[in-house]
Amino acid sequence: MTDLTRGRSRKRMWQDLHSKIAANAASLFRQGVLVAKQTASGRRVWAVRFVVSVEEGGKVHRSIYVGSDKVLLDRTRHLLEHYRCLGDLPRQLTAWSRMLGAACSTVRRMLRRSPRGAKKSLS
């Protein structure tokens, strides 16, 4: 018997799942994966697996149960992709700022080489 047949609505299940994932967003920016598990009854269910650093300097493996609902699985996949994009943002900004700096220095060099007071003759 799935959660949907037990009376829990998909909307409520997504709200619970989303809040659990959002609470661990800092850990999911750079890592975390959806894994399939086989239950004892043979049903395939999904979970988000990731590692959390603890205060003592160690690491703990965590798991957030997603279930077998395809809609929840797709939403979870998209949410994890979104977090990965956000986690990649600092690297992208650094690359863009380097490119912009190189473009500015190229323009400065070109302006130094061109004659400043020279005007083109129209005749």
Distance CA 47, CA 66 (A): 5
From first to last of the 123 residues of the chain, give the pLDDT tens digit.
455 555 579 999 999 999 999 999 888 888 888 999 999 999 999 999 999 888 888 999 999 999 999 999 999 999 999 888 887 776 777 888 888 888 888 888 888 887 665 555 555
Q: How far, in Å, CA of 13 to CA of 17, rounded?
A: 6
Give the DSSP H/E element, type plus range, for residue 15.
helix 10-23
Residue 24 buriedness (CB in 10 A; 0-12 / 13-18 / 19+): middle
Beta strands of 54-112 (E only): which ranges?
59-67
Largest CA distance in the chain: 90
Report the predicted TM-score, pTM, of the whole model to 2 decimal places.
Answer: 0.64
